[in-house]
Amino acid sequence: MTEKKRQIIVFLIFAAAALSAPFFLKDSYLITVLIFVGINTILAIGLNLLLGYAGQISLGHAAFFGLGAYISGILTTRFPLDPFLVMILAAFCAGALAFVIGFPILKLKGHYLAMATLGFGIIMYIVFNETVSVTGGPSGLSGIPYLSVGPLVFDNDWNNYYLVWISTLAVMLLAINLTQSRIGRALRAIHDSEVAARVMGVNARILKVQIFTVSAVISAFAGSLYAHVVTFIAPASFGFHFSVELLTMVVVGGLGSIYGSFLGAAILTMLPEFLRVFHDLDIIVYGLMLILMTMFMPGGLVSGIQMVTQYIAARKAKRKDEHAQA
């Protein structure tokens, strides 16, 4: 019970911080960055559910992100449809696609799963790129309308910030609940040992497909948001490169940690800000980060922070002991 209470408090603090941030930032450029941090957080959580909780890798998640963005973008620019309705439709389509390909793909393991999802991602990228009459092809699709609720139009940074962050918090809440549920425990069981989980009566196959579907739906939702916030989309944002960036976010932040996803998304999104000084170096920093994190901090930054706090706590306790002895 206390554990649950603690979690509620942590979430509330996080939500309060996220929602009050614009008041401190005023008209700063950081608001724009934080909008993208929000979108990337949603994506990272989506991937983390699959990668961190169920232990299934995907190198093609940018495809679902793109699918959401393109369905929203294409339908709202061509037809007078309600963007929110289209959003639901986009999420549904992505989910349906994930469900269908989930069965054969998730049968595969490890390296083979990685290659299959990668292949899927590239095929989707080619589709975005080559169906010029539908998607606008490589030079992109522009003129996507802003979202609006009644008289409120989400056409400036301040509005978009709240649009994105309320969505992000909702997704976080959903993910936290999901991982605390029976499903979450079953997922972790699969992660640790699929055979053992099966023996204990977990239907691993269905469960993996389900979580793959949920993950795709979340990614597509982020894609729809992205399309309406930026109002322009091009295939280059949904390629293999971005799938790897997403993977990096999850790994850097912490596999299997919702707040870790935020941390990873924030760092990777803000990285270019720090690296602008060095210009071409960011590709190297990416690579190094992936290598060093997997080698020395496989639990991501979140585990690093835990390690540090535990270490400090242990030191304190030890000192107290010494004090008492003296």
Report yes or no: 208 and 106 within 8 Å, Cβ to Cβ.
Answer: yes
Indicate the residue among 105 and 266 with the shorter CB distance to another protein: 105
Return the structure tokens found at 158.
């301040």
Indicate the residue among 157 and 217 with the shorter CB distance to another protein: 157
Query: Of 19, 155, 158, 159, which one interacts with another protein (CB under 8 A)?
Result: 155
The answer to the question of residue 156 lying near another protein (CB under 8 A) is yes
Quick one: three-class SS letters along the chain? CHHHHHHHHHHHHHHHHHHHHHHHHCCCCHHHHHHHHHHHHHHHHHHHHHHHHCCCCCCCHHHHHHHHHHHHHHHHHHCCCCHHHHHHHHHHHHHHHHHHHHHHHCCCCHHHHHHHHHHHHHHHHHHHHHCHHHHCHHHCEECCCCCEECCEECCCHHHHHHHHHHHHHHHHHHHHHHHHCHHHHHHHHHHHCHHHHHHCCCCHHHHHHHHHHHHHHHHHHHHHHHHHHHCEECHHHHCHHHHHHHHHHHHHHCCCCHHHHHHHHHHHHHHHHHHCCCHHHHHHHHHHHHHHHHHHCCCHHHHHHHHHHHHHHHHHHHHHHHHHHC
Letters for 273-312 (x = contact with another protein by CB under 8 A, - = none) are x--x--xxx-xx-xxxxxx--xx--x--------------
Return the structure tokens found at 263.
């941390």
The answer to the question of residue 21 lying near another protein (CB under 8 A) is no
The answer to the question of residue 264 lying near another protein (CB under 8 A) is no
The answer to the question of residue 244 lying near another protein (CB under 8 A) is yes
> Shortest Cβ distance from residue 255 to another protein (Å)?
8
The answer to the question of residue 234 lying near another protein (CB under 8 A) is yes
User: Which segment (16-24, 80-88, 237-245, 257-265) binds another protein by CB under 8 A?
Assistant: 237-245
Indicate the residue among 16 and 126 with the shorter CB distance to another protein: 126
Query: Of 237, 249, 258, 259, which one interacts with another protein (CB under 8 A)?
Result: 237
Which of the residues 77 through 116 are near another protein (CB under 8 A)? 104-105, 107-112, 114-116
Return the structure tokens found at 134.
């539908």
Indicate the residue among 89 and 270 with the shorter CB distance to another protein: 270
Indicate the residue among 126 and 173 with the shorter CB distance to another protein: 126
- How many residues in the shown chain lie near another protein by CB under 8 A? 67
The answer to the question of residue 142 lying near another protein (CB under 8 A) is yes
The binding site for another protein (CB under 8 A) comprises: 27-29, 32-33, 36, 51, 55, 57, 104-105, 107-112, 114-116, 118-120, 122-123, 126-127, 129-130, 132, 137-140, 142, 155-157, 226, 230-234, 236-237, 240, 244, 247, 251, 272-273, 276, 279-281, 283-284, 286-291, 294-295, 298
